[in-house]
Structure 1
Amino acid sequence: MIQITSPATLGLTALILFIAIFGRYVLFSLTFWWLFKVSLKEQFAHRAVQTRPRKAGQDWREIGWSMVTSLIFTGIAIGIILAYQRGYTKVYTDITSYPLLWYPASIVLVLFIHETYYYWLHRWMHWPGVYKWVHKTHHDSITTSPWTSFSFHPIESTLQAIIIPALTFVLPLHISAVGLILLIMTLSSAINHLNTEIYPHNFDRHWLGSRLIGATHHSLHHTQFRFNYGLYFTFWDKWMNTESPDFHRLFSKKTQKETQPVE
């Protein structure tokens, strides 16, 4: 892990981290945007989940908010590095420090905790007194795109960012496992906000697909507001009866083999 030993290395580390975090967002967003809006546009045209035009300048507003989000993520990452250097976290670099089985188990456990934290945080952010101050910025993107994936108010960005760093203080996590979790988070967010369903027909009924959130599932949250609060997985929405009743019908319609006009 990077060692911060002076104000100069602190500034350089912050710059490198910001480029890595914001660059990762741009890379994933640009890749999905180009792939499904340019390269495969004709093949996936009928899979667009929403047809409401995006607001003028929406892409740039989302990118602007995403830069702020990336700055916040960078600040928190610097804090974790400093805590690690002082021995406060349980992040480890020697893969043999714990049984190898713990490596995948730790990733699954963190994703479960993150999902649980986010589901209930998300429901709280929809309370009327909270929504306009914290979550409205993200919901200004009613018709989403990959650029929406990091577009949050700074308060929401901070609330979203603290859970995984907090877990490094209580759970032993290999440094590469932390990186993999963050990669999964970015990839999942880009897919969920794509507004084009990329999963195959009947995947929503598959043992795996029924548990994963995709573009159709999350786009319904942006249009209906009171359903589909999950982040990676659907289990909390199913357990709490907050999965949209329109999900399976819309997913089937958007993924049927024959191309049809978009409504």
Structure 2
Amino acid sequence: MALNPLFQWPPKPAAVLRWYSAYWLAISSTTFTIALAFVGYAVFLPPLTAMAEWAPGWMITVWLLNLIPHVATAGLLHLWLYRWRGQGTAYKFDPRDQTRDNGTFTFRNQVHDNMFWTIASGITQWTIAQWIVFWAMANGYAPAFAFPDNPLWFLAMFPVLVIWSSFHFYWVHRALHWPPLYKLAHSLHHRNVNVGPWSGISMHPVEHLLFYTNFLIHFVLPTHPMHLLFHGYMQSIHPVFSHSGFEQLYVADKERAKMGDFFHQLHHRYFECNYGTVEMPWDRWFGSFHDGSAQATQETRARKKQMYTGR
């Protein structure tokens, strides 16, 4: 797992360009979420003026703009990878199947457990958070702007939101591994040692509440309604891919897209490491990085023991 070349010295401009091209100029979860946001905004989202009052019409539209893409993405990936076994175990991190008849999971079924918590709590809280921000934008409580006002800022906000989300996720995620919070909330997500597409935002409601405080950035920085849609999709649909359990999507004997990453797979394997995202080096900077080596495993286990026993 190479360090993002943006943070290497001496500078390597070509390596930086290749790194970010993999996220922004190729088929990836990032470009997929931008496409979803563009279509959602251009075709379905009502104008901000319609969101100045709490009304079922626009509120249901926002909910459906979240529910349908998420269910379709997670559902189709699950069918392809696990039900139809469209690429067998090619590029799969863990050869085991999703768990069934196990009392650890709600309904004794890993997939049903993940679907329930994703839809009942995750998509619900994601939508409520966006309702609040859209209403605030429409009423002048959150700074908003139109694309013609500042096209450069409009474009810059996409990578800014990626960096902010990564930073916020690292610290919230690390806090969730504090034993009392872990026991209360985060342990539900970590039922998934062998993750699948529905595992991405399968979380306890308390964790979702902390997770979606990420949207508070829209009360600080001027953003566009399309940014808010992108932010939601990045926060919630990107984990569908990163938790797919597969490194690549392989269709018709050809690699079609990058999906999961070994970095986060190691987090679900060893818990007290790799709290952040692969795009930013928070774990390297703050001493929680696991590179897959035996030495890193020993250090992670020692850190876990100290965290839970104080020794």
Same fold (TM over 0.5): yes
Instruction: Give the Cα–Cα distance (whole angstroms) in 2 for the partners of residues 214 and 241 of structure 1.
Output: 23
Counterpart of 2:288?
242
1:50–1:219: 8 Å Cα contact kept in structure 2? no
Cα–Cα, structure 1 residues 122 and 46, in superposed 2: closer, same or farther, change >3 Å?
same
Q: Deviations over 1:179-215 (max 9, x none)?
A: 2333333442111100111189xxxxxxxxxxx9933
Q: Deviations over 1:102-122 (max 9, x none)?
A: 122222122112111110111
Q: Within the alignment, does 1:185 sit opposite 2:235 as a pair?
A: yes
Query: Alignment RMSD, CA only?
Result: 2.5
Q: Within the alignment, does 1:65 sit opposite 2:117 as a pair?
A: yes
1:216–1:247: 8 Å Cα contact kept in structure 2? no
Instruction: Give the Cα–Cα distance (whole angstroms) in 1 for the partners of residues 275 and 203 of structure 2.
Output: 16
Q: Secondary structure of the equivalent of 2:126? A: helix
Counterpart of 2:164?
113
Instruction: Give the Cα–Cα distance (whole angstroms) in 1 for the partners of residues 167 and 208 of structure 2.
Output: 17
- Aligned-partner residue type, residue 177 of structure 1: H
Flag the structure with more relative contact order, 1 or 2, with Cα contacts below 8 A and sequence separation at least 6: 1
- Deviant stretches of 4+, over 6 Å: none
Counterpart of 1:254?
none
Q: Within the alignment, does 1:198 sit opposite 2:248 as a pair?
A: yes
Task: Pick one of 216, 219, 233 that aligns with 1:169.
Answer: 219
Task: Pick one of 164, 182, 190 that aligns with 1:139.
Answer: 190
- Aligned-partner residue type, residue 59 of structure 1: V
Instruction: Give the Cα–Cα distance (whole angstroms) in 1 for the partners of residues 219 and 125 of structure 2.
Output: 19
- Aligned-partner residue type, residue 74 of structure 2: S
Task: Pick one of 202, 212, 227 that aligns with 2:273.
Answer: 227
- Aligned-partner residue type, residue 97 of structure 1: D
Task: Pick one of 131, 141, 145 that aligns with 1:88.
Answer: 141
2:193–2:269: 8 Å Cα contact kept in structure 1? yes
Cα–Cα, structure 1 residues 226 and 194, in superposed 2: closer, same or farther, change >3 Å?
same
Counterpart of 1:30?
75
**Deviation, structure 1 residue 17:** 2.3
Counterpart of 2:32?
none
Q: Secondary structure of the equivalent of 1:173? A: coil
Instruction: Give the Cα–Cα distance (whole angstroms) in 1 for the partners of residues 208 and 266 of structure 2.
Output: 22
Q: Secondary structure of the equivalent of 1:47? A: coil
Long gaps (5+) in structure 1: 201-211, 249-263
**Deviation, structure 1 residue 232:** 5.3
Q: Deviations over 1:150-198 (max 9, x none)?
A: 211111111111212x111111112222323333334421111001111
Counterpart of 2:130?
77
1:90–1:169: 8 Å Cα contact kept in structure 2? yes
Instruction: Give the Cα–Cα distance (whole angstroms) in 1 for the partners of residues 278 and 234 of structure 2.
Output: 9
Instruction: Give the Cα–Cα distance (whole angstroms) in 1 for the partners of residues 166 and 52 of structure 2.
Output: 35
Instruction: Give the Cα–Cα distance (whole angstroms) in 1 for the partners of residues 171 and 261 of structure 2.
Output: 20
The TM-score normalised by the length of structure 1 is: 0.78
- Aligned-partner residue type, residue 142 of structure 2: T
Matched length: 230
